[in-house]
Amino acid sequence: MQQLIHIQNRFRYTVYVLMLTTVLSIGGGIYTYITSLQLVRQSRQKIYVLDNGQSLLLALRADISDNRPAEARHHLKRFHELFFTLEPDKDYIESNIREALYLADQSAMKQYTTFKENNLYNRVIASDISMTLLTDSVQMDFSTYPYGFCYYGKQKIVRKSNITIRRLITKGKLRNISRTDNNTHGFLIEGWMIEENADIETRRRSNF
């Protein structure tokens, strides 16, 4: 009888050990799985960058979606600065326009053609005119897609005899595209048009 009880106790002990081992194995497997998922997520938040082909730098990548509004405004600001900043230098003008046209669709090319047909660029070169642009604000509507925008800025036009300040208001839409070397923010301006471009002040240059 005692031998039978001893065998039963050993059997129960063996069952308990097997159950405990099974629970620990399952727990260990779940822990390993969760830890692996966390490591994968962390690795996807890292970018390795070569510094002049010499050293390997680790850069933490912020969530792209958090920066899209700021990137969109910078894209619009950059496009307008390139398109409306002119100096009496043909190569400079063509370089700026070429870079700007990567950021917009055919509506920008159409406006460039209009300016060219109106002899704007030749007059800038022939009369030694400098034109710069100051951004006042960029209003965007992110509730719909493509994103509508309205750009507000002021042009400063410096001629030999005077300086003119001109108001610039444009509008259009912005859609997402793939990022490239020529379009680092991954946006494309569509249906771009000039709403207003009127003189608001003209004054004589003091050193003329």
Cβ contact 127:159 at 8 Å = yes
Tokens read off for 187: 């946006």
Taking the C-alpha atoms of residue 198 and residue 119, their distance in angstroms, rounded to an integer, is 18
Name 164's bridge partners. 157, 202
pLDDT at 27: 72
Name 196's bridge partners. 169
Mean pLDDT over residues 185-202, rounded? 96
Cβ contact 151:193 at 8 Å = no
202, pLDDT greater than 90 = yes
Taking the C-alpha atoms of residue 133 and residue 77, their distance in angstroms, rounded to an integer, is 10
pLDDT tens-digit map of 119-172: 999 999 999 999 999 999 999 999 999 999 999 999 999 999 999 999 999 999
Residue 178 — φ and ψ, nearest 5°? -70, 145
- What one-letter code names the amino acid at 182? N
63, pLDDT greater than 90 = no
pLDDT at 205: 84
Nearest to 186 by CA among 70, 106, 103: 103
pLDDT at 56: 44
Using pLDDT thresholds of 50, 70 and 90, give the confidence band for residue 32.
Answer: confident
Question: Cβ neighbours of residue 205 under 8 Å, at least 6 residues apart?
Answer: 158, 159, 160, 161, 162, 163
Domains assigned to the chain: 2-59 (no CATH), 64-204 (3.10.450.230)
